[in-house]
Amino acid sequence: MKRSLLFLLTVLLLASCGRSSVKPAADPARAANFNKSYPIVDSLLKVMTLEEKIGQTVLYTSDWDVTGPSIRAGYVDDIRAGKCGNIFNAYTADYTRRLQEIAVNETRLGIPLLFGYDVIHGFRTIFPINLGISASWDPELIEQSARIAAREAAAAGLHWTYSPMCDICVEPRWGRISEGAGEDAFLGSAVARAMVHGYQGADLEDTLTIAACVKHFAAYGAPHAGRDYNTVDMSERWLREFYLPPYKAAVDAGAQTVMASFNEYDGTPATANAHLLTEILRDEWGFDGFVVSDYTGVMEMVNHGTSADLSDASIQALNAGNDMDMQSGGYSEFLKKAVEEGKVSRKTLDEAVRRILTVKARLGLFEDPFKYCSREREAALTKTDENLATALELAQESCVLLKNHHDILPLRQGSSVAVIGPLANSADDLLGTWRGAGQVDGVKSILDAIAEHAGHVYYAPGCDVSKPGQKGFDEAEYTARRASTVVMVLGEPCDWTGEAASRTSIKLPGEQTELLKRIAATGQPIVLVLLNGRPLDLSEESLLADAVLEAWYPGTMGGEAVANLLFGEASPSGRLSVTFPRNLGQVPIYYGAKNTGRPYVNIGAKYESRYLDCPNEPLYPFGYGLTYTTFSYGKPVLSSDGFGPGGSITARATVTNTGSRSGTEVVQLYLRDMLGSVTRPLKMLRGFERVTLEPGESREVEFTITEKELSFWRKDMTFGAEAGEFRVFIAGDSCAEDFVTFTYND
Ligand code: NOJ
């Protein structure tokens, strides 16, 4: 037996006197070992050298070559020397085992490596991009997708995903709006919670679960002008009310790690922002996992102009509560001297190391460092029929039907279809940005999937997705005339969304709108299917097409999902989780706006909060989406006139399927606080439920409202409800007008 393994076993034996529970789990039913402390960690801290401790705070990426994984020689040496305790971008059971063997068998203490990876919307089985997932308004299915992602990833030797991305965003220019759950803190919190539960399950030691990472902390989704990595500035009140809740929901759900964001907040880069990383995250929220910087986030503090050099940046970051350095190399190079000179206290370093080792212990890595590397599980759990079936279901639920003039959809099975557009025959774009280890083999394009339903299919790309040129227009026009219906698949190339993919226009790129105009001129009925990762300006397209289906980037099973929806084998049930503006000039536009002192009520009046050249209303509001049927709502009914602290009220409404097909409605509860010590939004989402109804069927949907649903950051920055009148809206989107009123008495 190797010396280091023997040592580790001895430490384990000494530590096996039991694990102490430090405080109750945020979600006790699920969080079995999420907040335990482990005596082995104390034992290790007593025997680790300063260098070994610093090694645990270091995270490096591995490299891959074309025929398989390999790592840079330097990293192997670092692992062997105990100078690098964590690796990302390395996966497969074999590869992670090989690296783990070095850490466990060839280092003095044999501390296992932690393997991280960006498992963002699936690992091998790719689900829709996160903005799409959130449009399902189905936390249960979202949780299931994260569970599948965790299983596939864990079987490939991974322990840790850099997800969920909890950044609220009202900025469609920002490419990373595609990675989040949209504009709303309540929906965003539900999605964040579901993802953490899905990844981490009930027990982190389970070889089918992985640790979650809440990112990007904080407010990364609000960069000025939508330019990635740009400055963020907002009031503390705005931050707490509209941006922090999803991060907190994820932390409360037991997330083990948090990633500091690239941006500054209140003049200090998040990487070294003690207010965010220590005061809010640890002191207020009780987070006891570890914080990792984003990629070279520590180094970038020099560019931010708040650190003189990498040494200074490393000292500031660790002291502020950033425990692990991703890829900057600063902790590795400078922390030893900083500790020796007293610029970082031994206690601060020990705390960081303790948090990192504790997460390793919670994952069960000290008991069996190789438990996640299983060729058998990797083969058995990857892209199973069950996984693919869930991917199909979630893709179908994520698509949002924005328009369906004269019920042109669903199409008749066996009818002839002209499929036109540069994205129609692309399997690759369906996977979207951050597709993990997902591969395009076996992914069916929308064209191929439509061919399985249609009688005859004719196809022409028409133009390039982003480059100028109308050479293909004639062929596309001829193709359009050959079939009874035209399905056009347009959008953004998938690498136009995600990180470092900001745009100054939110129109369809290239000549796609011109192509649509040319096809529309034929008079043929047009169904427009969109693949994109941000709210687009569809003001022209929505007039030219008879039906519009927003499919985002729907993942591995996206082709089948779109075809099933088009031909009525599945019914659209998605609802927008983000507002679609009429044009970029309306941005930022979001349903939870404030009333202002001059609300726009007298149409035509000059001195009101409005535009001269465009209505205030968006093209498609938050919560909006059509189905193949129609629903009516009865007036909400309240259980009483009001309530006080500790009490509650129920709000009920009867929803009826008034159409001739079965359909799923997302019933949404909105509240408005009519008087506050500070201004309040016109509407706040406070509940939702997916309800499937047969034609003619009615269902009473009930929501309970407590003090929690009314609470906000008051004038004095305490969190709570204030006495007064509240309006209750229950409807199918955020434009609801009918309301009933109750009073909250404090
Ligand atoms: C940078 C991205 O901002 C972050 O989301 C990601 O997890 C890391 N790179 C690691 O790949």
pLDDT at 3: 46
What Rg, from alpha-carbon coordinates, does the chain have?
A: 27
Last residue of a domain, one of 586, 619, 643: 586
Q: Which residue's C-alpha comes closest to atom 11 of ligand 1?
A: 118
Q: Which of 169, 179, 295, 298 to mutate to test the pocket of ligand 1 (most atoms within 8 A of CB)?
A: 295
Q: Has residue 648 been placed in a domain?
A: yes
- Report how far Cα 239 is from the mean position of its chain's Cα atoms: 18
Mean pLDDT of the chain: 94
pLDDT digits (tens, 9 = 90+) for 515-566: 999 999 999 999 999 999 999 999 999 999 999 999 999 999 999 999 999 9
Residue 385: both structure tokens together: 């029929």
CB-CB neighbours of 405 under 10 Å: 13
Q: Has residue 285 been placed in a domain?
A: no
Ligand 1 atom with minimal separation from the 165 CA:
5
507 and 449 in a single domain? The answer is yes
DSSP state of 157: T
* Angle (deg, nearest 10), helices 310-320 and 330-340: 80
118 close to ligand 1 (CB < 6 Angstrom): yes
Q: Which residue's C-alpha comes closest to atom 4 of ligand 1?
A: 294
Cα separations (Å) of 552 from 124, 128, 356, 484?
19, 7, 36, 26
Ligand 1 atom with minimal separation from the 262 CA:
3
162 close to ligand 1 (CB < 6 Angstrom): yes
pLDDT digits (tens, 9 = 90+) for 202-252: 999 999 999 999 999 999 999 999 999 999 999 999 999 999 999 999 999
CATH classification at residue 565: 3.40.50.1700
Q: Has residue 427 been placed in a domain?
A: yes
pLDDT at 188 over 70: yes
Residue 730 near residue 672 (C-beta atoms within 8 A): no
444 and 517 in a single domain? The answer is yes
Q: Has residue 462 been placed in a domain?
A: yes
Is 174 or 69 the better-scoring residue by pLDDT? Answer: 174
pLDDT digits (tens, 9 = 90+) for 636-679: 999 999 999 999 999 999 999 999 999 999 999 999 999 999 99
Q: Has residue 728 been placed in a domain?
A: yes
Q: Which residue's C-alpha comes closest to atom 1 of ligand 1?
A: 295
pLDDT bin (cut points 50, 70, 90) of residue 618 is very high
- The Å distance, Cα 165 to ligand 1 centre, comes to 10
Last residue of a domain, one of 555, 586, 617: 586
Q: Has residue 473 been placed in a domain?
A: yes
Q: Which of 210, 499, 502 to mutate to test the pocket of ligand 1 (most atoms within 8 A of CB)?
A: 499
C-alpha 405/C-alpha 546 separation (Å) is: 5
Residue 293 near residue 355 (C-beta atoms within 8 A): no
- Report how far Cα 721 is from the mean position of its chain's Cα atoms: 29
Last residue of a domain, one of 561, 586, 611: 586
pLDDT at 20 over 80: no
Q: Which of 165, 215, 433 to mutate to test the pocket of ligand 1 (most atoms within 8 A of CB)?
A: 215
* 39 cis-preceded (ω within 30 degrees of 0): no
Into how many domains does the chain fold? 2
pLDDT at 36 over 90: no
167 close to ligand 1 (CB < 6 Angstrom): no
pLDDT bin (cut points 50, 70, 90) of residue 19 is very low
574 and 647 in a single domain? The answer is no
Count of CA atoms in the C-beta half-sphere (13 A) of 598: 8
Q: Has residue 164 been placed in a domain?
A: no
Residue 47 near residue 62 (C-beta atoms within 8 A): no
pLDDT at 31: 53
Residue with token string 């986030």: 297
448 and 539 in a single domain? The answer is yes
Residue 72 near residue 61 (C-beta atoms within 8 A): no
576 and 716 in a single domain? The answer is no
pLDDT bin (cut points 50, 70, 90) of residue 70 is low
Residue 411 near residue 567 (C-beta atoms within 8 A): yes
Q: What is the pTM of this model?
A: 0.95
450 and 529 in a single domain? The answer is yes
Cα separations (Å) of 235 from 169, 267, 271?
16, 12, 19
54 Cβ partners below 8 Å, 6+ apart?
83, 331, 332, 335, 336, 349
Q: Which residue's C-alpha comes closest to atom 3 of ligand 1?
A: 294
- The Å distance, Cα 193 to ligand 1 centre, comes to 20
* 214: β partners: 258
Residue 583 near residue 507 (C-beta atoms within 8 A): no
DSSP string, 75-119: HHHHHHTT---EEES--SHHHHHHHHHHHHHHSSS-PPPEEEE--
DSSP string, 244-294: HHHHHHHHHTT--EEEE-SSEETTEEGGG-HIIIIIIIIIIT---SEEE--
462 and 547 in a single domain? The answer is yes
499 close to ligand 1 (CB < 6 Angstrom): yes
Residue 263 near residue 219 (C-beta atoms within 8 A): yes
713 and 574 in a single domain? The answer is no
Domain that holds residue 679: 631-744
Could you write out the three-class secondary structure of 536-556?
Answer: CCCCCHHHHCCEEEECCCCCC
Which amino acids are annotated catalytic?
294
- The Å distance, Cα 294 to ligand 1 centre, comes to 6
Residue 358: name the closest of 171, 508, 211 by CA: 211
Q: What are phi and psi of 37, to 5 degrees?
A: -105, 155
441 and 522 in a single domain? The answer is yes
Positions of E strands within 113-176: 114-117, 160-161
Count of CA atoms in the C-beta half-sphere (13 A) of 298: 32
C-alpha 473/C-alpha 460 separation (Å) is: 9
* Angle (deg, nearest 10), helices 330-340 and 346-362: 140
- The Å distance, Cα 172 to ligand 1 centre, comes to 20
pLDDT digits (tens, 9 = 90+) for 128-169: 999 999 999 999 999 999 999 999 999 999 999 999 999 999
446 and 526 in a single domain? The answer is yes
List b or e across 194-231, with b for residues whose CB sees 16 or more CB atoms inside 10 angstroms: bbbbbbbbebbbbbbbbbbbbbbbbbbbbbeebbbbee
578 and 641 in a single domain? The answer is no
pLDDT digits (tens, 9 = 90+) for 420-452: 999 999 999 999 999 989 999 999 999 999 999
- The Å distance, Cα 295 to ligand 1 centre, comes to 6
pLDDT bin (cut points 50, 70, 90) of residue 344 is very high
CATH classification at residue 698: 2.60.40.10
pLDDT at 578 over 60: yes
160 close to ligand 1 (CB < 6 Angstrom): no
Residue 542: name the closest of 623, 626, 472 by CA: 626
Residue 288 near residue 25 (C-beta atoms within 8 A): no
Q: Has residue 64 been placed in a domain?
A: no
554 and 492 in a single domain? The answer is yes
Sign of CA pseudo-dihedral 572, 574, 578, 579: positive
- The Å distance, Cα 217 to ligand 1 centre, comes to 12
